[in-house]
Structure 1
Amino acid sequence: LEECFAKEYYKTPHSPEPLTGYDYLTGEIILKLIDKTLEKDRALTPFSYVASELPIHKNISIGNNRSIQLKGFIDRVDEHNGLIRIVDYKTGRERLDFKSVTELFDPSEKDRKKAIMQVLFYCKLYKLDKAPMQPLQPSIYIVRNLFDKFESFLKYDKEPLTDFNLVEKEFDLYLTRCLEDIFDLDKPFSQTTVESHCKYCDFKQLCKR
């Protein structure tokens, strides 16, 4: 932990030192989160670790013979009971349930489930690049829930989503529509109608919202 702080935070990779003050408290929290993560993982054993922070780049085709490069960094990939799990870690308050793929892409939704859309997007990238035929299970580790009732699997229309294949066709449809909309030169960009989305937007100084 001290080596990680030195490398990533202090930028002194060759001079790790004992943590003090606020950094010591932060380190203790990190250690507790690691312990809890390992405790939850123990319940899944045996499983095989595949990768962490896995970068994936893939080109896909959209309308008018255009090709777009998609990329992502998958937090974790492992294999359990014959399923490849695509795992995303989240520190905020996230939902694991969704009723339809449509709601994930609906810009009028005030509380769009971005975490679910993200992990499904990672499943799509992984399937295109690594495992075109193998079942993929999207999972989200919500860090704040590690000390309480912990679940990692998604629920699609109240049922556990154990295989990305169950929603892939519909996800492909809406993802392609979304990308075609973004890259439509005849359609200007417009402000969102949901002003709460602007609160943490990097571009709010430009649009003066």
Structure 2
Amino acid sequence: MTKPAPRVHRDLAWAIKQQAKRAGEQTPSVRGADWRLATVTAVGVDGTVTADDILCRRMETYTLPLVGDVIVITQSSSGNWLALGRTDPGTGTPWRAYTPAWTAATTNPSLGNGTITGRYTRLPGRTCVAAIRLVTGSTTTYGSGAYLFSVPLAAADDVVEYVGTARLTAGSTYIGQAFLGAGSSVMNVTFPAAATPATAANMSPTAPATLASGHILRLEITYQTA
């Protein structure tokens, strides 16, 4: 009849088994590929992100990463980490807030007690959709020269330019265009200078109307990001 192993032997065997299990869990070549969720804490300029202290190479489809993104990362059996992309927050495509810079060619305006709000979203193919709403206030000053408004992400320098829509409510309603040049991070706005012919002129403190408190400018543009 075989005698049971002494307790010290059983404890040693269990300890060795647990150590081997832990080593296997931590060794990619043993456990194989794996994936997990992680939160981005840093974005590199070389196509990488750091998520939960893990440096990962981004997939080409994971565009415009931001700190705070909850992403899927995966590790190969050789130990390399890959960032697959953002998870869906369950509320549709997320729109993010940004504060547009409102400047002018000669003298910059001052917002005062007016408000300026920007929102944007990112789509596949390095596509960005941005919207701006400017409401002037009683202490807003308007500067001088043609106006410029910043976009949240610079446009790609790929020869083509981008044209969006503009709507100014200033007593009457004026319909115009937003224009973003290749490689630019600011867009200008044009409205018809006269009803006939329908040529366009840059928006300024007095064109297409003299701005005053309570006037509202709305802009929207879709473009390829750098």
TM-score by length of 1: 0.28
Question: Which has the greater radius of gyration?
Answer: 2
Provide the TM-score with structure 2 as the length reference: 0.27
> Which protein has the bigger helix share?
1
